[in-house]
Homo-oligomer: A and B are copies of this chain.
Amino acid sequence: MAFDCIGVLEKKRDGHPLSEGEIRDFVLGYSRDEIPDYQMSAMLMAIFLQGMNPEETAFLTEAMLESGERVRFEGLPARPVDKHSTGGVGDKITLPLVPLVMAYGVPVPMLSGRGLGHSGGTLDKLESIPGFRVDLSLEQYRERVQGVGAVIMGQTRELAPADKKIYALRDVTATVPSIPLITASILSKKAAGGAQALVLDVKTGAGAFMTTREKARQLAHSLCEVGARLGLEVSGFLTSMNAPLGRFVGNALEVRESLDILKGEGPEDTTELTVALGGEMLRLAGVARDEQSGREKMKEAISNGRGLENLKKLIISQEGNPAVVDDPSLLPQAADKVEVASEKEGFISGIDSRKIGLAAIRLGAGRRKVEDPVDPSVGVEMLVRPGEKVEIGQPVVCLYTGIDSNIEGARMLVRQAFQTAEKPPEVEPLILEKI
């Protein structure tokens, strides 16, 4: 085994495409602990630097899928559709999105992740709802989708275990932002979880993994092409991460903002993106004839309160306290609030969402290491948006702080995050392109 392994490593190192069998043996060998971490990490770096063509990426995805079980739903009212965001700051869209889509009987089997690095994770946000469980079994996962119509939980060990093991290794070997590796990781998990279509929110800009528009586009194309090879219909949007999404960054704070969206009182940008992604999901599921009518349906589910109702159902089915929906004060509340004033005057030309994300981590909202605890109550509230005019001394941000918050560190990052210009800047739209 070891001998072959080096031959395959040499092949990728020298830029040659690998065969289906070579990729399969490498991935399944690693998944079964027959290939050591150090050979896989050399392979990951070789893939990072030499790339993989769409065919190889599909083989990689299939091998990861084959490392575990694949859920196949039967007798569902519509095609099960999932949504995937490549990760950003303040991205709470999943929370209002799923209950709105549920209103039209679209099954949503969603496997989400935790926050790591500067970006947050849906599971951490949901866990700020008292009692909410994201660690259900695979059997419970199936039951929820078939019964309630949706579930949002963590990847179980039965689903694409090779992806889980490889992801942990990528995280410590500087091999995360690789298009074939990202593609295989996302699609193997989604396909294993039983989704048949997938709506993408591929972020680009300072706070995103893909910092340039070109890279984000390449990732989107890779996901569509490889998805098609796996029988997964993939579409979606390229969106801007040149400012955090919405008003709040931080777990319970983002749940609050999600409730606002479902009540029709959310910030414009988060509402717009929720409606767009949901509209596309309805179209892919076959319950809306086109994107536009999908969007109308989403807006309707906001105004008639069905989304809010479904969120309660979802919370109940995952053992959380549904009373938070009507009374957000039941969510964890921060110990204190501190405003940060602008040191400059002018028009806000951009808010570095990476820095805002890191500021939230300084306050305790996210992890520096996997084992770090998270304070659900803390976070950052943006008091101004790009394009607005600010004066010196005007509060631009409100920090929600806890006992272990590094307030000075957060304040410094926030101040660095705000860029001003003398003239009103041209503000980039949130949704940049259709994929």
Q: Are A13 and B46 in contact (CB under 8 A)?
A: no
0/1 string, A164-196, CB within 8 A of B gives 1: 000001001111000000000000000000000
Interface residues of A in 22-64 (CB under 8 A from B): 36-42, 44-46, 48-50
Q: Are B174 and A42 in contact (CB under 8 A)?
A: yes
Binds B, one of A2-10, A98-106, A225-233, A302-310: A2-10
Residues of chain B within 8 A (CB-CB) of A2 are 172
Judged by DSSP, the binding face of A is: helix
Q: How far apart sit A13 and B44, CA to CA, in the bound complex (Å)? A: 11
Q: How far apart sit A38 and B41, CA to CA, in the bound complex (Å)? A: 6
Q: How far apart sit A9 and B50, CA to CA, in the bound complex (Å)? A: 16
A42: contacting residue among B6, B50, B173, B368, CB under 8 A = B173
Residues of chain B within 8 A (CB-CB) of A49 are 13, 45-46, 49-50
A44: contacting residue among B36, B42, B174, B175, CB under 8 A = B42
Residues of chain B within 8 A (CB-CB) of A173 are 6, 9, 38-39, 42
How far apart are A33's CB and chain B's nearest CB, in angstroms? Answer: 13
Residues of chain B within 8 A (CB-CB) of A13 are 45, 48-49, 174-175
Knowing A49-B13, A49-B49, the reply to whether A38 touches B174 (Cβ < 8 A) is no
0/1 string, A142-184, CB within 8 A of B gives 1: 0000000000000000000000000001001111000000000
Residues of chain B within 8 A (CB-CB) of A48 are 13
Q: Are A36 and B37 in contact (CB under 8 A)?
A: yes
Q: Are B39 and A172 in contact (CB under 8 A)?
A: yes
How many copies of this chain does one complex carry? Answer: 2
Q: How far apart sit A106 and B79, CA to CA, in the bound complex (Å)? A: 82
How far apart are A323's CB and chain B's nearest CB, in angstroms? Answer: 40
Q: How far apart sit A2 and B3, CA to CA, in the bound complex (Å)? A: 30
Knowing A37-B36, A38-B38, A38-B40, the reply to whether A174 touches B45 (Cβ < 8 A) is no
Residues of chain B within 8 A (CB-CB) of A50 are 49
How far apart are A145's CB and chain B's nearest CB, in angstroms? Answer: 36
How far apart are A16's CB and chain B's nearest CB, in angstroms? Answer: 12
How far apart are A269's CB and chain B's nearest CB, in angstroms? Answer: 31
How far apart are A239's CB and chain B's nearest CB, in angstroms? Answer: 25
Of A2, A45, A169, chain B has the most CB atoms within 10 Å of the CB of A45
How far apart are A288's CB and chain B's nearest CB, in angstroms? Answer: 43
Q: How far apart sit A36 and B173, CA to CA, in the bound complex (Å)? A: 10
Of A2, A40, A42, A172, chain B has the most CB atoms within 10 Å of the CB of A42
Interface residues of A in 327-379 (CB under 8 A from B): 368
Q: Are B46 and A6 in contact (CB under 8 A)?
A: no
Knowing A37-B36, A40-B38, the reply to whether A172 touches B45 (Cβ < 8 A) is no
Residues of chain B within 8 A (CB-CB) of A41 are 38-39, 41-42, 45
Of A41, A49, A175, chain B has the most CB atoms within 10 Å of the CB of A41
Q: What residue in chain B is nearest A7 (Cβ atoms)?
A: B174
Q: What residue in chain B is nearest A39 (Cβ atoms)?
A: B173
Q: What residue in chain B is nearest A170 (Cβ atoms)?
A: B42
Q: Are B169 and A38 in contact (CB under 8 A)?
A: yes
Q: What residue in chain B is nearest A43 (Cβ atoms)?
A: B45
Q: What residue in chain B is nearest A11 (Cβ atoms)?
A: B174
Residues of chain B within 8 A (CB-CB) of A38 are 36-38, 40-41, 169, 172-173
Residues of chain B within 8 A (CB-CB) of A10 are 174
Q: How far apart sit A10 and B173, CA to CA, in the bound complex (Å)? A: 8
11 examples of A-B residue contacts, CB within 8 angstroms: A6-B173, A9-B174, A13-B49, A36-B37, A37-B37, A38-B41, A38-B169, A39-B172, A41-B45, A42-B173, A42-B174
Question: A13-B174, A39-B173 provided; 12 other pairs, C-beta below 8 A?
Answer: A6-B172, A9-B174, A13-B45, A36-B37, A38-B38, A38-B41, A38-B169, A38-B173, A42-B42, A42-B45, A45-B49, A46-B174
